[in-house]
Amino acid sequence: MRAYVLKHYGGPEGSLLMDVPAPAPRPRDILVAVRAAGLNPVDFKFRQGKLRAILRPKLPFVLGNELAGEVIAVGRDVKRFRAGDRVFARVAKDRAGAFAEQACVDEDDAAHMPRNLDFTAAAAIPLAGLTALQALRDELHVKPGQKVLISGGAGGVGTFAIQIAKWLGAHVTTTASKRGEALVRSLGCNEVIDYTVEDISNGEGQFDAGFDLIGGKTLDQMFEVMKPGTRIVSVAAIPEPQTAIRDLGGRRALSAIFWLISYGIRSRARRAGISYRYLFMHPSGSDLALLAELVEQGKLKVIVDRTYPFAKITEALDYVESGRAKGKVVVTNQ
């Protein structure tokens, strides 16, 4: 089968489309004919080698973290799926493999696709949708009436985060450029800060929860507008010790490294009287089933910026890396 394989770390030249053996399902796996796969910043960071100390893959390695497709075989212990089912999934971190004609997924990491979506739209959901849901519901514990600040609302995770925060009953403010303002307002955002001309930190003590998708100076400004005793969750800044303990299997050496590299940002949070958490989302078929239900009920829209044929996956990754995407980027293999 054809797959997009990471041969060595670096730029696009380290990865290529090539023929590899088809994967064989484990007892709890479903084997999926991949019809579409979503692209995310983690994919080009993986290609660059920025995550090799954390995820430690053995090269060569088939890239890709989320997919939609049709089940073509199941392992002997699989209970919830059968051949012919249309599914979507966030592949486990240690397996990846979505950028291929076929991929194996643990049945607990997959769900039936929303009935009202095609493969392209369904493939855009898993990583970004799960990230937004787990950050807002499980880490920030967003409640009705709370004021939530989301940076980068027009991106892949941001478009889901706005809608999920609204579903949870929050009043949502996000940052976006003029080009992205119409999009985020169409998703229900209450207030938009144009980051090209406005400073987030014009106010003080306004927000009950913060979800950072940008990092850097934007995160610094977010610290200044949070109410005391609240929390910021980031997926774009620096991992902290709890990241290793809760999200990466409790690796002590990694926890110590994260303690050192996050000392400055954690100190900044303490001075602001808030807590800071860096999140690595986890695959979850049950959470995907909830997202599918929200899509079918019309409560969650999927925003796809561009689609590319599988043969142009390098071009698609370059576009994601450019930071210009409004919503998700998907490659199709139909």
Domain that holds residue 68: 2-125+302-332
Helices 216-223 and 263-272: crossing angle in degrees, nearest 10, is 30
Q: Residue 204 has what pLDDT?
A: 63
- Same-domain pairing of 80 and 161: no
Among residues 283, 249, 236, the alpha carbon closest in space to that of 134 is found at 283
Note whether residue 295 is domain-resident: no
Task: Extract the tokens encoding 144.
Answer: 């009705």
pTM: 0.95
Residues 51/55/59/64 CA torsion (nearest 10 deg): -80
Model pLDDT for residues 168-192, shown as the tens digit of each residue:
999 999 999 999 999 999 999 999 9
CB 7 within 8 A of CB 15: yes
- Same-domain pairing of 240 and 99: no
- Same-domain pairing of 142 and 118: no
Residue 26 φ then ψ, to 5°: -75, 175
- Same-domain pairing of 327 and 241: no
What residues in the chain have per-residue pLDDT under 50? Answer: none
Other CB atoms closer than 10 Å to residue 198's CB: what's the count? Answer: 11
- Same-domain pairing of 213 and 272: yes
- Same-domain pairing of 57 and 162: no
Task: Extract the tokens encoding 311.
Answer: 């043969």
- Same-domain pairing of 98 and 198: no
- Same-domain pairing of 146 and 264: yes
- Same-domain pairing of 46 and 119: yes
